[in-house]
Amino acid sequence: MGKQLWKPGNMLYPLPVVMVSVAGTHGEKNILTIAWAGTICSDPPMVSISVRPERYSYNMIKETGEFVINLTTKELAFATDYCGVKSGRDVDKFAEMKLTPLPGEVVKAPLIAESPVNIECRVTEVKHLGTHDMFLAEVVAVHADERYMDENHKFHLEKAEPIVYSHGAYLATGEQLGTFGYSVKKK
């Protein structure tokens, strides 16, 4: 069994697929789907999203310096795809997908009520990288849906059935294989 040599490319899969909600300076709002999102620091808590400058939401993020990352689920898979292929220039994605905008606690961008986790973010830096610009942002608030809390207030995201993105496909997450440190845990 051999390996094929491919040209350099992004092969870091699967990726979290998120719906990013934004608000403009004139009251407009939109949702864009992003698979290029990630954690970049834990203290202070920081994330990044990469967005093409021609995307409708790009200028809203650039002007306001705010956005909300909304985690996606099996139930939200259709809306996740729709919000990635339709432009907010042409359609109100909240209305079309029957998603509920909720006011943020800190930022003006709306949360998506149907998402199990909403992460309010404030941009600290923009890096121009080629086809995409990366928005580095500090996490300023996190909202977790109480439906996924147990009696000890532990959050169980797996019960929301989160999805990931890989090579053009949305995939459900599977069974738990272990927990952090299980490989060295004493028996």
Residue 124 has pLDDT above 90, yes or no: yes
The tens digit of pLDDT for each residue in 58-93 reads 999 999 999 999 999 999 999 999 999 999 999 999
CA distance 105 to 84: 25
Output the pTM of the full model.
0.94
Interval 46-51 mean pLDDT: 98
- Exposure of 29 in the CB half-sphere (CA atoms within 13 A): 20
Query: For the purposes of burial, counting CB atoms within 10 Å of the CB of 77, is it exposed (0-12), middle (13-18) or buried (19 or more)?
Result: middle
DSSP line for 122-158: EEEEEEE-SS-EEEEEEEEEEEE-GGGB-TT--B-GG
CA distance 100 to 118: 13
CA distance 137 to 156: 25
Interval 106-123 mean pLDDT: 98
Interval 15-40 mean pLDDT: 96
pLDDT at 102: 98
pLDDT at 157: 93
Residue 177 has pLDDT above 90, yes or no: no
Q: Which amino acid is it at 130?
A: G
pLDDT at 23: 98
pLDDT at 16: 93
Percentage with pLDDT > 90 across the chain? 87
Domain 15-172 in CATH 2.30.110.10? The answer is yes
Contacts (Cβ under 8 Å, ≥6 apart) of 131: 52
Q: Which amino acid is it at 33?
A: T
pLDDT at 88: 96
CA distance 163 to 172: 5
The tens digit of pLDDT for each residue in 164-173 reads 999 999 999 9
- What is residue 58's three-state secondary structure? helix
